[in-house]
Amino acid sequence: MKIKKSPGEKAFDVFNYVILAILALLCVVPFIHLLALSFSSAAAANAGKVGLWPVQPTLASYQYAFQTPNFVRAFGITVLRVVLGVSLNLILLVLTAYPLSKRNDELPGRTWISWFFIIPMFIGGGLIPTYLVVSATHLNNTIFALIIPGAVSVYNVMILLNFFRQTPKELEESARMDGASQIICLVKIYLPLAVPCLATLFVFCTVGHWNEWFSGMIYMSSVRNYPLMTYLQKVISQTNSLTDPSQIELMAKISSKTFQAAQIIIATLPILVVYPFMQRYFVQGMTLGAMKG
Amino acid sequence: MKQHEPALAPKKKSKFARVDKSLYLMLIPGAVILIIYSYIPIFGLQIAFKDFDIAKGIWGSPWVGLDNFKYIFFSYPGFGKVVFNTVYIAVLKMIFRYITPIIVALLLNEVMHIKFKRTVQTLIYLPHFISWIVICGLMISILSPTDGAVNEILKAVGLKPVYFLGNKSTFRPVLIISDVWKEFGYGTIIYMAALTSIDPSLYEAATIDRANRFQKVLYITLPGIAPIAVLVGILGLGSLLSAGFDQIFNLYNPLVYDVADVLDTFTYRMGILNAQYDLSTAVSFVTSFTNAGLVLISYFIAYKVAGYRPF
């Protein structure tokens, strides 16, 4: 239906498009600036000449980044933690969410068991007690310290559990009539139907592991064991901890802003590359988790 | 749906519902991890009431009653400021994080050009997925007083450069703005979903009744997203003490501790850097239980007001 727009509406449209375009640009411009910095020469960057396009383009910062052993190792550790951590996350998610999605008569005691799993969602043991337990179980300085303590995300369990509940009960009941065990039902009926939900949770877990830095900082005593984000945090905090502006000026001359930019870009690239593919899933996930009720 | 209800009642067993023990077995791995890494630390919060000695461990250290709490809350210099900073920063973030997605979603809803809309959506969701480490690195670089892009722009228009992250009056605004920048786009998702569920015939009817665009927003769109907006607002109340550790920890420095130090950063410095385990845990104890209380209250209100059931 075509209805002629009043001048006021037209003005609003223009205003609206401009505002939204500015907002959208604001979300990417900082990254483009960083990208430009990473491809610029150190001299141009330190002189503040770099805007949104590289000045005196060079790959030196990237070469330097890939020749920095700690950076490369940290990248490897993060890849490993994502592979191991996300696998463990998903296995535990399925194993926990499936029984909890059952009715009380299929899983006697379900209410109590559910509370057992829900309570940690509300209350945590705090920094020090958790730290002491992780140390006592000898996970310090191993990759397991990054994977095991947070392996069960109760929030994600809730999402999957609610998804399982939407699966038509008749499918399972007919399989059970034919003598299928719960494990068979899970593998043959529920899991194939839950693929969209699992994909969403896969995205959440992957991004979570990729971006996580705090456990690396407190459980790893050597930079050799740092995951990527913990390593970057150290690099960045060294710049920020120089509080005297004259000192910063000195530091800017000798350190390389461009090198830091290159490292940040490399660390963010994997997320940026998979981002367009995962968009579909996280939008689904957001609405999955929040819209019900 | 009616005919299914008897089957859901607990006492009446469906004939298919043989109890399968393997269901319990499946729960064991997750339960073990939760017991070790969630429940034991919760009981470990008792360090807050002890004079902790690492040699004696959590259970062996002597009890000291409320001494740790008394010291932190009444004698520790500057602790009141830390509490104030936490609530101040968290409340401001809460307000802006709540309002901006609604406004942006309403603006997006007025866009008829689908491709433009999709592109804007894709771009504004992006910062949510980038870690605070990367964003803080970016901010430190852009806001640098000597060669940061923002100050280069200020200088170009003849203004004096500002040391945004080292200045007490600018630090908190920078925190709030960057937080909103990171999260406003992602926050619109839930409203965009709610907007698609509004019946288009309502708009058509309104057009026939000569309603203008503003009236349509006021009488159709807003009521359409109101239930979700109320729910999101209530659930947001649970974050009253969440000032954002990742962000503050990576941006603050001694120059701005006065305005930037919050409970989480305080707990960290006290516990990990100063190794005052018992004092740090006394703060954790209070924040843990306050947080749990706040979330429970927000869930309860959400349940009463909007029938929300998280599980």
Residues in B closer than 8 angstroms to A16, CB to CB, are: 107, 110-111
Q: Give the SS3 label for residue B50.
A: strand
Q: How far apart are CA B311 and CA B292, in angstroms?
A: 16
Q: How far apart are CA B26 and CA B105, in angstroms?
A: 42
Q: Does B6 touch chain A (CB under 8 A)?
A: no
Taking only the tens place, the pLDDT of each residue in B194-225 is 898 888 899 999 989 988 888 999 999 999 99
Q: What is the mean pLDDT of residues B5-18?
A: 49
* Interface test with chain B among A40, A128, A189, A288, by most B beta carbons within 10 Å: A128
User: With respect to CATH, is domain B75-306 assigned 1.20.1290.10?
Assistant: no
Task: Specify the pLDDT at position A159.
Answer: 87
* Interface test with chain A among B11, B35, B37, by most A beta carbons within 10 Å: B37
Residue B9 banded pLDDT, cuts 50, 70, 90: very low
Q: Does B138 touch chain A (CB under 8 A)?
A: yes
Alpha carbon of B107: minimum distance to chain A alpha carbons (Å): 6
Parts of chain B belonging to CATH 1.10.3720.10: 75-306
Residue A52 C-alpha from the chain's centroid: 27
pLDDT at B297 over 70: yes
pLDDT at B19 over 70: yes
Report CA-CA distances (Å) from B177 to A256, B242, B251. Answer: 27, 16, 13
Cβ partners under 8 Å of residue B247, min gap 6: B132, B135, B136, B175, B178, B179
Q: How far apart are CA A22 and CA A26, in angstroms?
A: 6
Of A95, A120, A267, the CB nearest to B34: A120
Residues in A closer than 8 angstroms to B125, CB to CB, are: 279, 282
Residue B6 banded pLDDT, cuts 50, 70, 90: very low
Per-residue confidence of chain A (293 residues) as pLDDT tens digits? Answer: 455 678 888 888 999 999 999 999 999 999 999 999 889 888 888 777 888 898 888 888 888 888 888 899 999 999 999 999 999 999 999 999 999 999 888 899 999 999 999 999 889 888 999 999 999 999 999 999 999 999 999 989 988 998 898 888 888 888 888 888 888 999 999 999 998 889 889 988 999 999 999 999 999 999 899 999 999 998 888 766 554 555 555 444 435 688 888 999 999 998 888 888 787 777 766 665 544 43
Task: Specify the pLDDT at position A286.
Answer: 64
Task: Specify the pLDDT at position B186.
Answer: 92
CB atoms within 10 A of CB A263: 27
Q: Give the SS3 label for residue B63.
A: strand
Task: Specify the pLDDT at position A239.
Answer: 67
pLDDT at B123 over 60: yes
Instruction: For chain B, positions 261-280, list CB contacts with chain A under 8 A.
Output: 267-268, 271-272, 277, 280
Task: Specify the pLDDT at position A66.
Answer: 87
All structural domains of chain A: 7-290 (1.10.3720.10)
Task: Specify the pLDDT at position A293.
Answer: 33
Contact A232, A269 (CB under 8 A): no
Specify the higher pLDDT residue, A64 or B276: B276
Of A51, A125, A267, the CB nearest to B42: A125
What tokens were used for A201?
């949770």
Interface contact A182-B22, CB threshold 8 A: yes
Taking only the tens place, the pLDDT of each residue in B54-63 is 888 888 899 9
Instruction: For chain B, positions 207-246, list CB contacts with chain A under 8 A.
Output: 207, 212-213, 228, 232, 245-246
Q: For residue B262, with 0-12 CB atoms within 10 Å meaning exposed, 13-18 middle and 19 or more buried, which class applies?
A: buried
Task: Specify the pLDDT at position A240.
Answer: 62
Residue B94 banded pLDDT, cuts 50, 70, 90: very high
Interface contact B272-A131, CB threshold 8 A: yes
